[in-house]
Amino acid sequence: MRLFIALPLCGDARQALLDVQQDMRNQGVRANFSRAENLHLTLAFLGELEGEAVRAAQEAVLSLKGAAFSLTLDRPGSFGGLYWAGLRKSKPLDALAAQVRRALDQRGLDYDRKPFRAHITLARQVRAAEPFRVELPPVETAAERVVLMQSSRVDGRLTYTPLAERRLNG
């Protein structure tokens, strides 16, 4: 199964990103927009794992420690046809990503080792006949849950299923 570890996005920040997507639609943009429940920030991408390795990945997530912290989404960005929300630089976020990767290393699990670049994907395959603007007023959100997700297609629909969840201390 295809796995990754992420901070799910909820509350006001999720709504703010849905508003950005709606604003894009209103400007005539067509795209594969991320669904509300799929909005997330990837901390580590593991790829295909089975059996014992999946259990090890669950343990890695359950081993995480630390306090919840706040994040500020403050700028849209794009690369090719992919649009994302970027975040204000955050030491606790970098530390959490590093902790996740250490927990995977300790269990001999492989993951994509590209440097961590925090972003939340809003839309893929963006296409538009006319120029458009993407604006994202700064919005704060709490990082309080780290989740091991399975990524799959259910009836053709991209679906993320939680396999383990660690709550950061209030």
Exposure string for 78-91, b = 16+ CB within 10 A, e = fewer: eeeebbbbbbeebe
Q: Could you tell me the smallest distance in angstroms from the CB atom of residue 23 to ligand ATP? A: 21
Nearer to ligand ATP, 29 or 111 (CB): 111
* Residue 67 vs 105, nearer CB to ligand ATP: 105
**What is the closest distance, in whole angstroms, from the C-beta atom of residue 72 to ligand ATP in the complex?**
20
Which residue has its beta carbon closest to ligand ATP?
Answer: 151
Q: Which is nearer to ligand ATP, 91 or 157 (CB)?
A: 157
Judged by beta carbon, residue 47 or residue 138, the one nearer ligand ATP is 47
**Residues near ligand ATP (CB under 6 A):** 2, 4, 42, 45, 112, 114, 121, 124, 151, 158
11 Cβ contact list (under 8 Å, min separation 6)? 141, 142
- State in angstroms the smallest separation of the CB of 130 from ligand ATP: 25
Closest contact distance (angstroms) between CB of 47 and ligand ATP is 7
* Active site positions, annotated: 40, 119
CA distance 17 to 8: 13
